[in-house]
Amino acid sequence: MIKIENLSKLYQTNKQQVQAVNNVSLNIEKGEIFGVIGYSGAGKSTFIRLINRLEEPTNGTVSIQELDITNMSQAQLRKKRQKIGMIFQHFNLLWSRTVFDNIAFPLEIAGVPKAKRSEKVTELIHLVGLSGKENSYPAQLSGGQKQRVGIARALANDPEVLLCDEATSALDPETTDDILELLVSINQKLGLTIILITHEMHVIQKICNRVAVMESGEVVETGDVLDVFVRPKSATTKRFVQQLNPLEHEQDKLQNFITNHDNSEVIKLHFIGNDAKRALITEIVRKFDVEINILQGSIAPTREGAYGTLYIELNGEKDILSKTIQFIETSGVEVEVLRHA
């Protein structure tokens, strides 16, 4: 669907050069929700603006449906942009226009006849949950309602791709969840490919299929959301994962809960997918003569399945402890021994 090869953006100022995006290559599949996450200054907003050439790349190519966007003339690009919707952090609505007229604006520019325009806008107002707000002005709307107008406007020309640049950053947590659920609904109903830029890991966790992590203009890690959450490789990714799972950097506090039995093992368990719902502790107690001290744990959902982390202390004879850990490993749950007996 979208092929990005060696994409770079170099800004030249009077005093220095700034490499905002550096040699990024990604493939994004049709119909997926692809997240790009990074801290402030990572280059993610520049990256998304390169996709529709709101910023001109210094090097590299962007192809959508096998059409090279980077080599199009301005006339070709204007036509292609009608199939690339975009929503913004601060809504970018026309304050002198009603909800209806804001959504109709891109259709006016495209030369769509008035009757067909009205039909399409009414359809989109219903799709984004704004029925009854057609004649309201942006100043009369909440933040979430303004973003719904922005989403409807971005969908007006039936785009192939929807670009979301920090679309939920200006919203409160409850409204953020509502907007994310709307994006998932649109993705499923329309088969729309969505690229979502954010600095919030819970946004990635909630709706994305795959994610790329950016740092200093480069992609430092990419993969399925569940894999990246469970096995983060780069230091930047680990910091993001810790936002959602603070247990990952509080292992030193476990000492307060350990019984310090002479024969004990302290282990960390990773549960992935259906294993996150498994009654593993009950299975262990029934099968082995061990005592289990649950130290701490957490579980979190992603679009591809749940994942959880559990820290436990096992007390018992050494050979029984060894057999218990072997049983856990063969059950498909990942085991990391933190302290040996």
Cβ neighbours of residue 305 closer than 8 Å, sequence gap 6 or more: 226, 272, 273, 274, 276
- Shared-domain flag, residues 232 and 259: no
Contact status, residue 48 vs residue 36, Cβ threshold 8 Å? yes
CATH number, domain of 294, equals 3.30.70.260
Say what the pLDDT of residue 170 is: 84
Residue 298 has pLDDT above 50, yes or no: yes
Stronger pLDDT, 306 or 293, i.e. the higher one: 293
Do 234 and 270 belong to one domain? no
- pLDDT given at position 47: 96
Q: Give the domain-ending residue among 244, 273, 304.
A: 244
68 and 109 co-located in one domain = yes
Is the pLDDT score of 95 beyond 90?
Answer: yes
Q: Do 263 and 147 belong to one domain? A: no
256 lies in the same domain as 232: no
Same domain? For 102 and 183 the reply is yes
110 and 222 part of one domain: yes
Q: What is the SS3 string spanning 233-273?
A: CCHHHHHHHHHHCHHHHCHHHHHHCCCCCCCEEEEEEEEEH
| 8 Å CB contact between 150 and 93 | yes
Averaged confidence pLDDT in the chain: 88
At residue 341 the predicted structure's pLDDT band, cuts being 50, 70 and 90, is: very low
Sign of CA dihedral 67, 73, 79, 80: positive
The pLDDT value recorded for residue 89 is: 86
Tally of domains in the chain: 2
DSSP state of 277: G
What residues does 20 pair with on adjacent strands? none
* Residue 110 in tokens: 């495209």
pLDDT confidence band for 333 (50 / 70 / 90): confident
- Domain that includes residue 69, residue range: 2-244
Give the chain's end-to-end CA distance (angstroms, integer).
Answer: 53
List the 161-165 sheet strands across, edge first. Answer: 84-88, 161-165, 193-198, 33-37, 210-215, 218-224
* Cβ count within 10 A of residue 229: 24
Which residue, 41, 42, 2, is CA-closest to 25? 2
Residues 20-38 as b or e (16 or more Cβ within 10 Å = b): bbbebebebeeebbbbbbb
CATH number at residue 235: 3.40.50.300
- Residue 94 pLDDT exceeds 70: yes
Write the CA distances from 201 to 35, 44, 335, integer angstroms. 10, 14, 25
Virtual torsion, Cα 221, 224, 230, 231, nearest 10 deg: -40
Q: How many Å separate Cα 41 from the centre of its chain?
A: 18
Q: What's the mean pLDDT in 310-325?
A: 88
Helix (H) or strand (E) holding 94: none
Q: Pick the more confident residue, 183 or 299.
A: 183
pLDDT digits (tens, 9 = 90+) for 231-270: 889 999 988 887 776 555 555 555 555 555 667 788 888 8
pLDDT over 80 (residue 307): no
What is the average pLDDT across 5-33? Answer: 93
pLDDT of 210 > 80? The answer is yes
What digits encode the pLDDT tens for the residues 121-133? Answer: 999 999 999 999 9
Is pLDDT of 299 > 80? no
Residue at a domain's end among 244, 266, 283:
244
Check residue 332 and give its pLDDT. 78
Give percent of the chain with pLDDT exceeding 90.
56
| Chain centre distance of CA 94 | 28
The span from the CA of 298 to the CA of 318, in Å, is 28
* Residues 308 and 169 reside in one and the same domain: no
The total number of residues written for the chain in this structure: 341
Residues 252 and 334 in one domain: yes
- Are residues 262 and 157 both part of a single domain? no
| Residue listed under structure tokens 């204007």 | 78
Unique residue bearing structure tokens 């979190």: 300
Amino acid residing at 116: K
Query: For the whole model, what pTM was predicted?
Result: 0.84
Q: What pLDDT was estimated at residue 182?
A: 95
Domain boundary among 220, 244, 268: 244
Q: What is the DSSP string of 63-86?
A: EETTEEGGG--HHHHHHHHTTEEE
Residue 225 shares a structural domain with residue 313: no
Separation CA 185–CA 86 (nearest Å): 17
Of 300 and 68, the structure prediction assigns the larger pLDDT to 68
CA distance 223 to 212: 7
- 153-207 pLDDT tens trace: 999 999 999 999 999 988 898 999 999 999 999 999 999 999 999 998 889 988 9
Q: Of the ranges 97-101, 139-143, 281-285, which one carries the lowest mean pLDDT score?
A: 281-285
Pairing state of beta strands 291-302 and 84-88? unpaired
Neighbours of 147 (CB within 10 A): 28
Shared-domain flag, residues 50 and 104: yes
